Amino acid sequence: MTDRNGPRIRRAFDAIERPAARTLETAIQTEKFATGLSVFLAVRGQVAAGLESASRAVLHAVNLPAASDIKRLLVEVHNVDRSLAGDVGLLVDRVAALERMVAKSASSPEVADPAGSNPAASARARTRTAKVAKPSERR
């Protein structure tokens, strides 16, 4: 099935391809080919834009989103996601700072609480030091 020049199918392919390649290479190097290709690409772009516009109108007529709507929404979701990621990072940092403050105040009870974060303890302390009024003094 094979001889010294390769399989028959390869020889048949080469016999057709070589002359065709020369002809095609000569044709694509002309100005007419370049002009024709540019016209074809421009027409194809206009047809694609017209089809996209028509399909968008049909989809909107039946109250469905078009690809451009979905693309716009994906951009918005991405922006919100990016914004939330920054906010979550800030929130995590603040929670960590609060946890450090709580741990520090729990380890040293003599430290005064300037922010008054424990109102119940402050109220108990004020009650102990306040003078209790007798019923006759109340009015």
Which pLDDT tens digit goes with each residue over 63-110? 999 988 999 999 999 999 988 888 888 888 899 999 999 988 888 755
What is residue 117's predicted lDDT score, i.e. its pLDDT?
59
What is residue 88's predicted lDDT score, i.e. its pLDDT?
86
Q: In the chain, which ranges are continuous DSSP H helix?
A: 8-28, 31-61, 67-107, 119-129
Q: What tokens appear for 20 in the block?
A: 């065709």
Return the domain boundaries, the chain: 1-64, 65-108
